[in-house]
Amino acid sequence: MVGVAVVGAGYWGPNLVRNIQATPQFRLTTLCDLNVERAQQVLGQYSTVKVSASLDEVLADPEVEAVAVATPAATHLPVALAAIEAGKHVLVEKPLASSYADGLKLVEAAEQRGLTLMLDHTFVYTPVVQHLRKLVRGGELGELQYVDSVRINLGLVQPDIDVLWDLAPHDLSILDAILPDGVHPVAVAAHGSDPANLGRACVAYLSVQLSNGAIAHAHVNWLSPTKIRTMIVGGSGKTAVWNDLDPTQPLAVYDRGVDWPTDEERRISYRIGDAVAPALKGGEALRAVMAEFAAAIVEKRAPLTDGRAGLRVLAQLEAASQSLAQGGTFVPVVNA
């Protein structure tokens, strides 16, 4: 069993604690937080897991072989880098860091030491996204033509980042996971507004140009009174529609679309075929994250959402921020 310490007992830390404890390959050794009382409350009165307010103390513990980081994004670099330099495998919640340059430092440090660096891109490990990945990469949808995503709700407004950095990493990490080999983002444009006078964008629209000529689009919003979580993945053959708020039928695959003309008259015809709802296994996505983290450590291989995947997301976020500052022009994406 791999000894794991969780750093951060705030919003996401308790979820990491619960799922690490439920993963047979892991043994939770320590919960580290500056607020020791809060950490003890997370663990419960009778827990034998150690509590510490000192990151240095945790990293000096030989029983700790891996660290799961659930601290604010601005602290990801110092916390994760200290863990890597101490010889620990690291799982970081999104985003990898607050900038591409900082993320690159973490990736290179882990690669130099042969350590696992993994991103907690939780949505990638949902049964729906795993199935979408198979559909797109296996060619069942045909050639990818577009991706359209909506992720809107009321709050939670973040104090230190805008809505793009808060919500768009989910959509960008999903996009990164499902894209076929050889297809990658080349440029990003972002438009946003601050109607609530928060001092940062709280409504935004993100467009990603892909190398095959397709486009991906995401709408993120902190101000919507209704919660919507949908993604449409359109292919030349079929289209997949995901409604994350429908527990009974979250994914449907439609054999419907446009048949492009082949004759001289260039007549377009429309295909109306079957709609299929694939049977998907249940299970908590974060449990699958932990299983992948454990397998990557034991098998000494890169996880699906490794540090490079986190860098690719950061590259698009930075391009989006630059585009936003430039009035929405397309900005090239750094090749991660």
Strands 331-332 and 185-193 turn out to be: antiparallel
> Is 291 inside a domain boundary?
no
- Determine the pLDDT at residue 336: 58
CATH number for the domain including 199? 3.30.360.10
Angle, CA of 256, 259 and 263, to the nearest 5°: 165
Kindly give the residue spans of alpha helices, DSSP state H, lying in 261-332: 285-299, 307-325
Each residue's pLDDT tens digit, 230-257: 999 999 999 999 999 998 999 999 997 7
Looking at the structure, tell me whether residues 44 and 71 fall in a common domain. Answer: yes
> Is 307 inside a domain boundary?
no
Looking at the structure, tell me whether residues 162 and 253 fall in a common domain. Answer: yes
Residue 85 to residues 115, 173, 320: CA-CA distances in angstroms? 10, 26, 31
Decide which of 97, 115, 133 is a domain's last residue.
Answer: 115
Backbone angles phi, psi at 189, to 5 degrees: -125, 140
> Is 176 inside a domain boundary?
yes
Looking at the structure, tell me whether residues 148 and 61 fall in a common domain. Answer: no
Cross-sheet strand order for the sheet of 203-210: 269-276, 251-259, 239-243, 223-235, 144-154, 215-221, 203-210, 185-193, 331-332
Looking at the structure, tell me whether residues 109 and 128 fall in a common domain. Answer: no
> Is 295 inside a domain boundary?
no
Residue 150 to residues 166, 292, 296: CA-CA distances in angstroms? 14, 27, 32
Looking at the structure, tell me whether residues 110 and 131 fall in a common domain. Answer: no
Decide which of 115, 138, 160 is a domain's last residue.
Answer: 115
Closest CA to 204 of 333, 324, 312, 329: 324
- Determine the pLDDT at residue 335: 79
> Is 135 inside a domain boundary?
yes
Looking at the structure, tell me whether residues 100 and 132 fall in a common domain. Answer: no
Structural domain for 217, as ranges: 124-285+315-332
CATH number for the domain including 103? 3.40.50.720
74 in Cβ contact with 102 (< 8 Å): no
> Is 149 inside a domain boundary?
yes
146 CB neighbour count, 10 Å cutoff: 14
Looking at the structure, tell me whether residues 135 and 36 fall in a common domain. Answer: no
- Determine the pLDDT at residue 159: 82
- Determine the pLDDT at residue 268: 77
The enclosing H or E element of 16 equals: helix 13-21
Strand partners, 320: none
Looking at the structure, tell me whether residues 177 and 198 fall in a common domain. Answer: yes
Each residue's pLDDT tens digit, 297-315: 999 999 999 999 999 999 9
Decide which of 74, 90, 115 is a domain's last residue.
Answer: 115
Looking at the structure, tell me whether residues 15 and 151 fall in a common domain. Answer: no
> Is 199 inside a domain boundary?
yes
Q: How much is the pTM?
A: 0.92
Looking at the structure, tell me whether residues 169 and 267 fall in a common domain. Answer: yes
Looking at the structure, tell me whether residues 144 and 248 fall in a common domain. Answer: yes
Looking at the structure, tell me whether residues 7 and 130 fall in a common domain. Answer: no
> Is 280 inside a domain boundary?
yes
Q: Which residues of the chain have pLDDT under 50?
A: none
The sign of the dihedral angle between the CA atoms of 273, 274, 280, 284 is positive
- Determine the pLDDT at residue 264: 64
- Determine the pLDDT at residue 263: 64
The sign of the dihedral angle between the CA atoms of 24, 27, 33, 37 is positive
**Count of domains observed in the chain:** 2
Each residue's pLDDT tens digit, 15-45: 999 999 999 999 999 999 999 999 999 998 8
